[in-house]
Amino acid sequence: MAEKTDGVEVSEAQIASHWKEEDLIHPSISFIGQANMANPKIREHFSSDNFPESFRLYADLLDWDQYWHTTLDSSEPPFFKWFVGGKLNASYNCVDRHLAKHGNKVAFTWVSEIEGEPDRVISYRELWVMVNEFAALLKDFAGVKTGDRVTLHMPMVLELPVTMLALARLGVTHSQVFGGFSGAACGDRIVDSDSHVLITSDAYYRSGQLLDHKIKADEAVVQAEKGGVKVDKVLVWQRYAAKASSPTPMVEGRDYFVNDLLSDYRGQRVDPVSLPADHPLFLMYTSGTTAKPKGCQHSTGGYLAYAAGTSKFYQDIHPEDVYWCMADIGWITGHSYIVYGPLSVAASSVLFEGVPNYPDPGRPWRIAERLGVNIFHTAPTTIRMLRKAGPDEPAKYDYHFKHMTTVGEPIEPEVWRWYYDVVGKGEAAIVDTYWQTETGGFIGTTLPALEPMKPGSCGPGALGIVPVILDEDGNKIEPGSGKAGNICMSNPWPGRMQTIYGDPERFVDTYYAKYAKSDSKDWRDWPYVTGDGGTQGADGYLRVVGRVDDVINVAGHRLGTKELESAALTVEAVSEAAAVPAFDELKGRVPEMYVSLKPGFGADSGVDEQVRQAISQIIGPIARPSHVWVTSDLPKTRSGKIMRRVIASISNFIDVGDTTTLSNPEIVEEIQRQVQTAKVGLGKIPQGVPQEVIQEIMRFGEEK
């Protein structure tokens, strides 16, 4: 994205990276000795010469009802099709096929947030029984069938993977909405995906509180109806079977407790439907540059092969390991690396209901010690939080990780080192996995037994993926040049989303239009644009600097500025709104809102709280801005566009640059005085804003 800043063209390519090279760290001999992938020739296998057939290795990890005839059909770029002609079922691959060898093996150990409440441990066989019975219920009672879509709005309970697998068994595309999102956000996603069944839970624990979740289903149904979609049935799983945990009443003829219905399906079995490789397995909504979230549609064959292959080689999961990914299944990380990837390689996983620091920051390490977790997977935000709250906690517990993952945001080398030395006790190999909702699985990471770690850098492209950094004109920025540019992937891979549900044009526009030769049918002319800026070292290691679009990555979760702004504009008094990222020591970035008011409304009328509430209600508490600044006006260009870059600079106490080209330059000083005086008063002056954040803010453009 090139933009006019102070009359000068500033682009990613011109911003030199200030990153100091870190020393390489090699994995231990004992890790290498047991690794699933320790063959130094594996890169050769995945070389460009071998593309796309190299990806057979991943697809061969699955059981196919019918083998495919064409590994990659690239005749209609960028709508690439993988394993064409092949048929399979994801539920069968994650459950049934393990029964013979691993029937009694633990699939999941579910851990309540309330310490002392018993775990729920289910074997692959028990998982199979639950999936079958629920699939029978879905088919006969809810009337869903192959090709339908069903929305889920569930917290971290065992019934969530059961529900996903039961739907996958029937060939029904699931769309799980993060449980922390509001009922309204869920309703919008119901409309977009045209779902007529909503599956939810009555309640769950969060930081020690039993939250009423059922109420959000009622809100979602109302919101969906406003959008023209009628939800016929709401199926409610219970936090405590046969006990009311939510005060929200059930709506007669619409809402049903799954528990009450399941007894009719005891012992029932449903054959997995044999589906073409490109049958859509699920939708996962994510934020983009417009207010409307994108439904990333993932395939059955390509996606599952990629999740399985990367779980085996990069997560290094062996059947005898105890694997714990702390992400929420409501995000892509949970789909690929709690449910589909680990189950397809017969993992035993921990599923944790709650927040990592409840009741105290020793909790994760107690769980790891008690359950013998040896593979651990979390995000930098959590690592920062645990480090701050309990830097010495890990040493108190007798657990041993062989492998750890960091995912979702850039990790500072200093935080990486605490993770390595203190959490990993210097024993664990770390993978810093770079990827996106859209990519289905990792796109940048080291192979843990073969490629050394470099703190703060994810590593080279994942096997079979060739990253390239392009400048604004599409020229390649040579690795090692120290210059940043737009991170792209030069070739297709099986895990990539198929399209944006219902909006193939937006798919092409968002991920390909920037550099594609649009009349070419050669995949080489269609680099995938990640929307991230970054650099590549001479060794090919990537360092992600941050987003280049109007997306704010908060604690590893994406929020579109437009989504935040539209929510703020629902407050009657607000006439204009702008969302900007502010540096936060723990979460990386937090959103701050700037609003100006309609004539006749005063700043003292509680507008800031109304904006906060509107955002919480419309998107969810995760998006709640840290500050809402009610200002007399917002800085604008002569054509009337809000200059977010200027206000973002103010929020972060960095130089606002030249503002003489604005139509109202005088407002800058006024806002600066207002905001910075308030922040100084609150003791909230950001300390040590990293170079990456400054770069990201400089890119924060005009309103489009």
Q: Which residues bind ligand PRX (CB under 6 A)?
A: 286, 332-333, 407-410, 432-437, 458, 530-532, 544, 547, 553, 556-558
Residue 86 or 456 having the CB closest to ligand PRX: 456
Where b means 16+ CB within 10 Å and e means fewer, 326-355 reads bbbbbbbbbbbbbbbbbbbbbbbbbbbbbb
- Tell me how far, at minimum, the Cβ of 285 lies from ligand PRX, in Å: 10
SS3 content of the chain, % helix, strand, coil (to 5): 30, 25, 45
Alpha-carbon distance 205 to 52, whole Å? 45
Residue 86 or 330 having the CB closest to ligand PRX: 330
Residue 224 or 430 having the CB closest to ligand PRX: 430
- Tell me how far, at minimum, the Cβ of 129 lies from ligand PRX, in Å: 32
- Tell me how far, at minimum, the Cβ of 222 lies from ligand PRX, in Å: 28
Compute the Cα dihedral for 207, 212, 214, 216 and give only its sign: negative
Residue 489 or 508 having the CB closest to ligand PRX: 489
Give SS3 for 195: coil
Give SS3 for 416: helix
Alpha-carbon distance 152 to 175, whole Å? 6
**Preceding peptide of 27 cis, ω within 30°:** no
- Tell me how far, at minimum, the Cβ of 541 lies from ligand PRX, in Å: 12
Residue 553 or 566 having the CB closest to ligand PRX: 553
Alpha-carbon distance 446 to 457, whole Å? 9
- Tell me how far, at minimum, the Cβ of 487 lies from ligand PRX, in Å: 8
Residue 299 or 610 having the CB closest to ligand PRX: 299
The CA-CA-CA angle for residues 563, 564, 569, to 5°, reads: 100
Compute the Cα dihedral for 4, 6, 12, 14 and give only its sign: positive
Query: Which residue, 115, 71, 66, 61, is CA-closest to 93?
Result: 61
- Tell me how far, at minimum, the Cβ of 531 lies from ligand PRX, in Å: 6
Alpha-carbon distance 29 to 536, whole Å? 28
- Tell me how far, at minimum, the Cβ of 202 lies from ligand PRX, in Å: 27
Residue 153 or 558 having the CB closest to ligand PRX: 558
Residue 265 or 507 having the CB closest to ligand PRX: 507
- Tell me how far, at minimum, the Cβ of 130 lies from ligand PRX, in Å: 28
Residue 167 or 489 having the CB closest to ligand PRX: 489
- Tell me how far, at minimum, the Cβ of 552 lies from ligand PRX, in Å: 10
Residue pair 429/38 in contact by the 8 Å Cβ criterion: no
Residue pair 116/311 in contact by the 8 Å Cβ criterion: no
